[in-house]
Amino acid sequence: MSHHDHSIDPKNLTQDPSKATMEGKHKFLGLWIFLGGETVLFACLFGTYLALKDSTAGGPSTHDLYGLELVFLMTVLLLTSSLTSVYAIYHMKNNDFKKMQLWMGITAALGLAFLGFEIYEFAHYIHDYGFTFRSSAFGSAFYALVGFHGGHVVFGLSWIITLMVRNAKRGLNLYNAPKYNTFALYWHFIDVVWVFIFTVVYLMGMVS
Partner 1 sequence: MSVNSAHKSGFGATLWDWLTTVDHKKIGILYLAAGAFFFLLGGLEALIIRIQLISPQNDFISAGLYNEMITMHGTTMIFFAATPLLFGLMNYIMPLQIGARDVAFPFLNSLGFWLFFFGGIMLNLSWFTGAPDAGWTNYAPLSLQSPGHGVDFYVMGLQLSGAGTLMSGINFIVTIVLMRAPGMTYMRMPLFTWTTFVTSILVLFAFPALTVGLFLMMFDRMFGTAFFDVALGGNSIIWQHLFWIFGHPEVYILILPAFGVFSEILPTFSKKRLFGYTAMVFATFLIAFLGFMVWAHHMFTVGLGPVANSIFAVATMAIAVPTGIKIFNWLFTLWGGSITINSAMLWTLAFIPSFTIGGMTGVMLASSVADYQYHDSYFVVGHFHYVIVGGVVFALLAAMHYWWPKMFGRYLHEGMGKLAFWTFFIGFHLTFFIQHFLGLMGMPRRYWVFLEDQGLDAGNLISTIGAFFMTFGVLVFVINIFYTWKKGEKAPGDAWGTGRTLEWATASPPIHFNFKQMPLVRGLDPLWIEKMEGNNKMTPAEPMDEIHMPNGSILPLIMTIGFFIASYGFIYQVDHKAWLIAVYVGMAIGMGCMLIRSLRDDHGYHISKEEVEREGD
Shortest distance, CB of residue 109 to partner 1, whole angstroms? Answer: 21
The count of other CB atoms within 10 Å of the CB of residue 3 is 5
Among 16, 20, 38, 117, binds partner 1 (CB under 8 A): 38
Q: Which is nearer to partner 1, 163 or 197 (CB)?
A: 163
The conformation of residue 2, written as its DSSP 8-state character, comes to G
Structural contact between residues 89 and 184, judged by C-beta atoms closer than 8 angstroms? yes
Among 18, 75, 107, 135, binds partner 1 (CB under 8 A): 135
Residue 164 CA neighbour count, 13 Å, CB half: 22
Give yes or no for residue 57 binding partner 1 (CB under 8 A): yes
Instruction: Give the 3-state secondary structure of residue 206.
Output: helix
Strand partners, 173: 7
Binding-site string for partner 1 from residue 115 to residue 134, where x marks contact by CB under 8 A and - marks none: ------------------xx
Among 30, 67, 116, 130, binds partner 1 (CB under 8 A): 30
Please tell me the distance from the alpha carbon of residue 73 to that of residue 41, in angstroms, as a whole number: 26
Q: Which is nearer to partner 1, 75 or 101 (CB)?
A: 101
Among 36, 67, 116, 130, binds partner 1 (CB under 8 A): 36
C-alpha torsion 178→93→101→5, nearest 10:
50
Give yes or no for residue 175 binding partner 1 (CB under 8 A): yes
The set of residues, in sequence order, having a beta carbon less than 8 Å from that of 161 and lying 6+ positions away, is: 108
Binding stretches for partner 1 (CB under 8 A): 3-4, 6, 22, 25-26, 29-30, 33-34, 36-38, 40-41, 44-45, 47-48, 51-52, 55-57, 133-141, 144, 159, 162-163, 166, 175, 179
